[in-house]
Amino acid sequence: MRYSQLLLPTLKETPAEAEIASHQLLLRAGFIRKLTAGVYAYLPLGLRTLRKIEAIVRQEMNRAGAQELLLPMVQPADLWKESGRWEKYGPELLRFVDRHQRESCLGPTHEEVITDLVRMNVHSYKDLPLNLYQIQTKFRDEIRPRFGLMRGREFVMKDGYSFDASEAAAGVTYNKMKETYSRIFARCGLSCRAVEADTGTIGGNFSHEFMVLAATGEDTIVVCTACDYAANMEKAACPAPALTAAKPAPLELERIATPGKKTVDEVTTFLGITPDQLVKTMIYLADGKPVAALVRGDHEVQPVKLKNLMGAVDVELASEDTVRKVCGLAPGSLGPMGLTMPVVADHQVMAMANMVTGANQDGVHLKNVNQGRDFPVALAGDLRMATAADPCPHCHGRLELPRGIEVGHIFKLGTSYSEALQATFLDDQGKRQPFVMGCYGIGVSRCIAAAIEQNHDDNGIIFPLPIAPFQVILLSLSVKDAEVTKAADTLYEELMKRGIETLYDDRNERPGIKFKDADLIGIPLRVMVGKRFIEAGEVEIKHRGSGATEALPMAGAADALAAMLDRLMAGATKG
């Protein structure tokens, strides 16, 4: 492709709306342009990289025996009502009414549609296993679309769904997908980690998120420095503390005035105690009903753990208004004593004695509060977020809590959708059984952003070779010089003949500008043809990643480059 003919609007300045490197660079390097909040156009370079990731995803999914199809984006509400998600799925589901007053939505995911397709067309165990996937634009009306391609409202996802005849067979499919995902991200040149994720009511070790480690990631993950344990915050277990000594005897309850002190910091500083002597009372709504969750002052409630412990479908933190309504005061001096709602306690709280809590009266706290004597606990268990101070739940090693970008998610669904939609097959005994399902997503467009977060410098993007929009950028350093133009044109023809994806910078621009743009858009190999090189009978190569330069003899340069690219490609897969 000739640069002079390409729609490649690079920007000198960093756009003010872009906070993180990938968003800034995707705009500056002319890969994407915003149409409206969370909705982007892919310009030619952006689309080339998107297509490359898609190609890797396709190859690996096909290799694993999955079949590609393409499902509709517009979905009828009736299907979602059958699965029960029309009510449950929040405002991310964009709903609308068509001209015939039929309720519809734009697909944020396709469990309903695929289950419907399969129940209509697959009837026997002989047709199983079946693994179907698509690469398609999804719409989720995200509350806070941000960071460019990282969290869009419209984005490209690979979503796959498997149908098996038994739990055991579904487990085999799940493991195959897990391996496939590792291969996909490695082939994209992404350094990625599979972490255990929450399975809700399914249980077992059958949900993994694939996380690209990057400081700008929206998720925090928990990884052990000693063993291979890795989990997300929702799943990372905080085992009950070992009780080494008997609890101290309960002391007499005391009321203390704490005027204006609301936060853990303020209260503990005022009382001269440490946060682990205080208990926080947090009001949540579990399926709409208030519940008080207790954690130590230095810990935070993990809402998904609370949800699982209570067997609830939905748990959300109560708003200040709701807290006022159900407790009679605003958060700040809440405590478990005298509450009429159920109290659920983290097991670290169960190990405490003589704790400090709020008194359910503004500006008053209580000292020497004891569970049992002073308040009942309806349920106790693991309720809190893991911290770097916790030991690894597997080996007691030291934990780290790095940030990650979720680029993929695999999940064993079991029979939840097939039962809700009555999607069944006849087993080898002639008995009707629900399909055992799994679902597997990859944020294809998010992968572009993740790759850039992991691979950039002050000058621009440093694309991993397998997903770079072009492999080579060929710079003609003086287009007005007939000899240079001829040599560069010839080399361009030679590279094209060999199928090397080449962007030929034939613009009438100063070399400095060409160098800057080449660095910005991040093409792995820069090949330069100029007067000085021609005199020496050479072309100069610069590697975008390492900055290393080398000279190649002009004669045979295209073959040498082809061989170099083969070598680089073989080494590009992340281990």
Residues that bind ligand ATP (CB under 6 A): 109, 140, 142, 151-152, 155, 157, 406-409, 441, 443, 445-446
456 near Mg ion, rule: CB under 5 A: no
Give the CB-nearest residue to Mg ion.
Answer: 409
Alpha-carbon Rg for the chain, nearest whole angstrom, is: 29
CB of 95 to ligand ATP, least distance (A): 17
Residue 305 binding partner per list ligand ATP, Mg ion, none, with a CB distance cut-off of 5 to 8 Å that depends on partner kind = none
Of the ranges 325-333, 408-416, 445-453, 458-466, which one interacts with Mg ion (CB under 5 A)? 408-416
CB of 158 to Mg ion, least distance (A): 13
Report the residue number, 282 or 447, with the smaller CB distance to Mg ion: 447
Report the residue number, 107 or 460, with the smaller CB distance to Mg ion: 107
Report the residue number, 47 or 253, with the smaller CB distance to ligand ATP: 47
Report the residue number, 442 or 491, with the smaller CB distance to Mg ion: 442
Residue 109 binding partner per list ligand ATP, Mg ion, none, with a CB distance cut-off of 5 to 8 Å that depends on partner kind = ligand ATP
Say whether 541 sits in a helix, a strand or coil: strand
Tokens of 196: 């255990």
Number of residues that bind Mg ion (CB under 5 A): 1
Report the residue number, 442 or 461, with the smaller CB distance to Mg ion: 442
Report the residue number, 292 or 442, with the smaller CB distance to ligand ATP: 442
Beta bridge partners of 232: 221
d(CA 45, CA 157): 19
- Phi, psi of 104, rounded to the nearest 5 degrees: -145, 175
Dihedral, CA of residue 201, residue 204, residue 207 and residue 209, to nearest 10? 120
d(CA 125, CA 121): 12
Cis peptide before 129 (omega within 30 of 0): yes
Report the residue number, 234 or 506, with the smaller CB distance to Mg ion: 234
Residue 217 binding partner per list Mg ion, ligand ATP, none, with a CB distance cut-off of 5 to 8 Å that depends on partner kind = none
- Phi, psi of 327, rounded to the nearest 5 degrees: -115, -15
Beta bridge partners of 221: 232
Q: Is the torsion defined by CA of 100, 103, 107, 111 positive or negative?
A: negative
CB of 318 to Mg ion, least distance (A): 25
CB of 111 to ligand ATP, least distance (A): 10
Residue 302 binding partner per list ligand ATP, Mg ion, none, with a CB distance cut-off of 5 to 8 Å that depends on partner kind = none
Residue 407 binding partner per list ligand ATP, Mg ion, none, with a CB distance cut-off of 5 to 8 Å that depends on partner kind = ligand ATP
Give the CB-nearest residue to ligand ATP.
Answer: 443
Report the residue number, 139 or 470, with the smaller CB distance to ligand ATP: 139
DSSP character at residue 467: G
CB of 406 to Mg ion, least distance (A): 6
Report the residue number, 109 or 302, with the smaller CB distance to ligand ATP: 109
Cβ atoms of residues 471 and 565 within 8 Å: yes
Contacts of 234 (CB under 8 A, 6+ apart): 197, 198, 302, 304, 305
Instruction: Indicate the angle between helix axes 44-63 and 444-454, nearest 10 degrees.
Output: 110
Beta strands in 341-402 (DSSP E): 343-346, 355-361, 364-369, 379-381, 399-400
CA angle, corner 39, sides to 36 and 44, nearest 5?
A: 115
Report the residue number, 138 or 409, with the smaller CB distance to Mg ion: 409
Contacts of 431 (CB under 8 A, 6+ apart): none
Report the residue number, 358 or 441, with the smaller CB distance to ligand ATP: 441
CB of 303 to ligand ATP, least distance (A): 14
Of the ranges 34-42, 361-369, 401-409, 425-433, which one interacts with Mg ion (CB under 5 A)? 401-409
Residue 456 binding partner per list Mg ion, ligand ATP, none, with a CB distance cut-off of 5 to 8 Å that depends on partner kind = none
Site for Mg ion in 95-154 (CB under 5 A): none
Say whether 292 sits in a helix, a strand or coil: strand
Residue 23 binding partner per list ligand ATP, Mg ion, none, with a CB distance cut-off of 5 to 8 Å that depends on partner kind = none
Residue 157 binding partner per list ligand ATP, Mg ion, none, with a CB distance cut-off of 5 to 8 Å that depends on partner kind = ligand ATP
CB of 441 to ligand ATP, least distance (A): 3
Report the residue number, 85 or 446, with the smaller CB distance to ligand ATP: 446
CB of 82 to ligand ATP, least distance (A): 20
Class of residue 159 by CB neighbours under 10 A (exposed 0-12, middle 13-18, buried 19+)? buried
Residue 152 binding partner per list Mg ion, ligand ATP, none, with a CB distance cut-off of 5 to 8 Å that depends on partner kind = ligand ATP
d(CA 221, CA 386): 9
Of the ranges 35-43, 283-291, 377-385, 409-417, which one interacts with Mg ion (CB under 5 A)? 409-417
Report the residue number, 222 or 561, with the smaller CB distance to ligand ATP: 222
Q: Is the torsion defined by CA of 80, 81, 85, 86 positive or negative?
A: positive
d(CA 447, CA 428): 42
Residue 335 binding partner per list Mg ion, ligand ATP, none, with a CB distance cut-off of 5 to 8 Å that depends on partner kind = none
Contacts of 96 (CB under 8 A, 6+ apart): 103, 104, 105, 106
d(CA 383, CA 378): 13
Say whether 165 sits in a helix, a strand or coil: coil
Q: How do strand 460-461 and strand 456-457 relate by DSSP bridges?
A: antiparallel
Q: How do strand 424-426 and strand 130-139 relate by DSSP bridges?
A: unpaired
Of the ranges 24-32, 83-91, 144-152, 402-410, which one interacts with Mg ion (CB under 5 A)? 402-410
Residue 155 binding partner per list Mg ion, ligand ATP, none, with a CB distance cut-off of 5 to 8 Å that depends on partner kind = ligand ATP
409 near Mg ion, rule: CB under 5 A: yes
Say whether 456 sits in a helix, a strand or coil: strand
Beta bridge partners of 97: 103
Of the ranges 13-21, 94-102, 305-313, 407-415, which one interacts with Mg ion (CB under 5 A)? 407-415
Residue 140 binding partner per list Mg ion, ligand ATP, none, with a CB distance cut-off of 5 to 8 Å that depends on partner kind = ligand ATP
Contact residues toward Mg ion (CB under 5 A) are 409
